[in-house]
Structure 1
Amino acid sequence: MMTGPDQVIVVDAANVIGSRPDGWWRDRPGAARRLLVRLAAFQERLQSSADVVVILEGAARAAVSGSDAPAVGALRVVLADGSGDDTIVAVTTELTDNVPDVTVVTADRGLRQRIEAVGATAAGPRWLLDQLDG
C-alpha cells in the first residue's frame, strides 16, 4: 500500500519573497521563478521525507507559464484564484486531514492563527530561507 508523506511544508510565496528587499517588486513573476527553482532543489534534497506545496497569487502566478517557466520537479504549485491566504488555509485544511505534520511558512500573524486553528504549525520566512541557503 502506498502512503503519503509524513510532513508537508506549505509556502506562502508572496510572504517569503517579500521578506527580503532585493527588488522583487520590479519583477514579481521573476522573483517567484527564482523562489520556485530554489524550492525545487530543496524538495529534491528532502527526497521523500517531506512534500513542498507553494501557493502563488497575483502577478507571481505568471511564473509558471510561458517559455521561461522553471522546472519544478516534485514541487506542487497551487495558483490562488483569489486570496492567497484563503487558498493557503484551504490547502492546509485538506492536508491536515491526511498528514501528521503540516508546516506553513509565513510571517502573516492573521494567517498563522487561521492555519494553527486547523492543526498546522507555522514557521517564518527566515526558517525557510536558512534551509534554502544551507
Structure 2
Amino acid sequence: MTDPVDPVGAAGMARAGVPLIVVDGANVVGSVPDGWWRDRRGAAERLRDRLVPFALSGAGGLAGPVELVLVVEGAARGVASVPGVRVEDAPGSGDDRIVEVAATAGERPCLVVTADRGLRRRVEELGARVTGPRAVLS
C-alpha cells in the first residue's frame, strides 16, 4: 500500500539512489527575523509547506526528485508530514537527529541545509554536502 505522506517510500528511494535533503528546521526558520519566535510550531509548518516543491525540483545542486526531511525540535515538535516532506521530531538535540538522518543516506547524495558551522563539520564527516538556508528560502 502506498503511504500518502511518502508515496515513493523512503526505502524505495534509498534503493533507487534518490538524493536525500535534510533541512535543519530551527536554523532555517531562525535565519529570517519574521517573528517566528512567537509561534515556533507555526513557523515550522510554514517552512514545511515552502519545502514541498523542492521534493520534485531538488535544491542546492541536487536534481529532483529527492527525499526531503525536515528536522524540528523543541516547541516545533509535532508538526505533521505532508506529501513530499517527511517531518522528523528531534527528541533531544536537533543537530544530533540531523546527523542520524544524514547517516542513513549511505552511498546516495546527501545535502544538509543549515548555517550551523558545528553541524556542518559533523555531516561533512559523513560525506554529506552542506548549503545555507537561502537554498530553500529563495
TM-score range, shorter chain: 0.7 to 0.9
| 1:75 has 2:85 as partner | yes
Work out the CA distance in 2 between the residues paired with 1:76 and 1:5: 17
CA RMSD of aligned residues (A): 1.8
Q: Pick one of 14, 39, 43 that aligns with 1:27.
A: 39
Aligned pair count reads 121
Question: CA offset at residue 74 of structure 1?
Answer: 2.5
Unpaired stretches in structure 1, ≥5 consecutive residues: 65-70
TM-score computed with the length of structure 2 as normaliser: 0.79
Q: Write the mapping of 1:6-21 to structure 2, written as runs, cut at 5 A.
A: 6-21=18-33
Question: CA offset at residue 127 of structure 1?
Answer: 1.8
Q: 1:121 and 1:48, CA in 2 relative to 1: closer, same or farther beyond 3 A?
A: closer
Question: CA offset at residue 45 of structure 1?
Answer: 4.4
Q: Pick one of 53, 61, 67 that aligns with 1:51.
A: 67
1:31-52 Cα offsets, whole Å, 9 max, x none, are 0111111112332445952111
> Identity across aligned pairs (percent)?
50
Unpaired stretches in structure 2, ≥5 consecutive residues: 1-11
- In terms of fraction of residues, the more helix-rich structure is 1
Q: Which stretches of structure 1, 4 residues or longer, exceed 6 Å deviation after superposition?
A: none
